[in-house]
Amino acid sequence: MKKATSAPKADAAHTYPHNLDCNGTDVQIDLLRAGDEDELMAFAQALPEHDLLFMSRDIGQPRVMKAWIRESVELRRMPSLVARARGKVIGCTALMHDDHSWSPHMGELRVVVSADARGLGLGRHLIQEGFVQALSIGLEKLVAQMTTDQRGAIALFESMGFRPEALLAAHVRDRSGRKHDIVMLSHDVAAAQGRMAVMGLGE
Ligand SMILES: CC(C)(COP(=O)(O)OP(=O)(O)OC[C@H]1O[C@@H](n2cnc3c(N)ncnc32)[C@H](O)[C@@H]1OP(=O)(O)O)[C@@H](O)C(=O)NCCC(=O)NCCS
C-alpha cells in the first residue's frame, strides 16, 4: 500500500460503519461484531508477536479472542473497532475501562494496524475514534502502553498529545521468554476537549 501524503478523509466519522480514504485506499471502520471472530483471529495471528506485546493478553489465542468479543459485543463493556480494506481486516482498536474500579474515569486504548497498511494515516484516525468513544462514555483520562522500542507508535501517540507517564521495566514476556520494558503514555482527554470547546472546536 502507498504511504500517506495527506490526512485521511472520512465520511461521517464517528458513526459506524463509515468509510475513510487512506491515501487512495478505501477503508471501512465498523464496530466489532459477533461474526468477526474468524477474520480477526486471522488478522491477529498474522501480526508479528512483538506487535501484540503491548496488550496484557495474547489476542492470537482463540479463548482470548472469544472473551474480547463477549466483553465488547454482548456485555458492551469494551468499545472496539475493526478497520477493513477490500474486505480484509487491516486494523482494530479496543477501549478497556472498568466502571466498577477506583478508576472509572480512565480508559486504556489499544490500537494495532497490519504491517502492510502502516503509514497511511489509519493509526492516527483510529486513535481519534478512540478519543471520541472515550468522551462519549464519560472517560476523562486515556492511557496507552507499548514496548519502548516501538518508536513509531510512541512518536504517533506523542504527536496526538499523549505524554510518557511510567516506565515498567521487564514488564512483559514474549513466547520465547524474553522480557521487554513497557512505556505507559497518558492523555487528559477531558481537559483537551474543554480547550477545544473554548476555541469553538468542540465537535
Ligand atoms: C502504532 C500504529 C497503530 C500506527 O499505525 P499507522 O497506521 O502506521 O499510523 P499512521 O499512518 O496514522 O501514522 C503514523 C505516524 O507516525 C509516524 N511514524 C511512523 N513510524 C515512525 C518512526 N519510526 N519514527 C517517527 N515517526 C514515525 C508517521 O510519520 C506518521 O506521522 P504523520 O501522520 O505525521 O505523517 C502501528 O504502527 C502499530 O500497529 N504498531 C504495533 C502496535 C502498537 O505498538 N500499538 C500501539 C500501542 S496502543
Q: Is the CB of 54 under 6 A from ligand 1?
A: yes
Q: Considering the domain boundaries, does residue 2 fall inside one? A: no
Q: How confident is the model at residue 200 (pLDDT cuts 50, 70, 90)?
A: confident
Q: Considering the domain boundaries, does residue 4 fall inside one? A: no
pTM over 0.85: yes
Q: Considering the domain boundaries, does residue 160 fall inside one? A: yes
Its domain, for residue 70, covers 13-198
Residue 188: predicted pLDDT: 94
Whole-number Å distance, alpha carbon 119 to ligand 1 midpoint, is: 6
Q: Considering the domain boundaries, does residue 6 fall inside one? A: no
Q: Is the CB of 151 under 6 A from ligand 1?
A: yes
> What is the C-alpha to C-alpha distance for residues 33 and 112, in angstroms, rounded to an integer?
17
DSSP SS3 for 145: strand
What CATH number is given to the structural domain containing 20? 3.40.630.30
Q: How confident is the model at residue 113 (pLDDT cuts 50, 70, 90)?
A: very high
Q: How confident is the model at residue 15 (pLDDT cuts 50, 70, 90)?
A: confident
Residue 201: predicted pLDDT: 65
Q: Is the CB of 95 under 6 A from ligand 1?
A: no
Residue 24: predicted pLDDT: 93
Q: Is the CB of 187 under 6 A from ligand 1?
A: no
All three cell numbers of 88: 480484509
Q: Considering the domain boundaries, does residue 165 fall inside one? A: yes
Exposed / middle / buried, residue 78 (Cβ in 10 Å: 0-12, 13-18, 19+): buried
Report the domain count for the chain: 1
DSSP SS3 for 3: coil
Q: Considering the domain boundaries, does residue 1 fall inside one? A: no
Whole-number Å distance, alpha carbon 185 to ligand 1 midpoint, is: 15
In the chain, beta strands by DSSP E: 9-10, 18-22, 25-31, 80-85, 88-97, 106-113, 141-147, 163-173, 179-188
Q: What's the chain's average pLDDT?
A: 90
Q: Considering the domain boundaries, does residue 117 fall inside one? A: yes
CA-nearest residue, atom 29 of ligand 1 = 119
Q: Which atom of ligand 1 is nearest to the CA of 146?
A: 47
Residue 28: predicted pLDDT: 97
What mean pLDDT do residues 153-167 have?
A: 96
Q: Considering the domain boundaries, does residue 57 fall inside one? A: yes
Q: How confident is the model at residue 78 (pLDDT cuts 50, 70, 90)?
A: very high
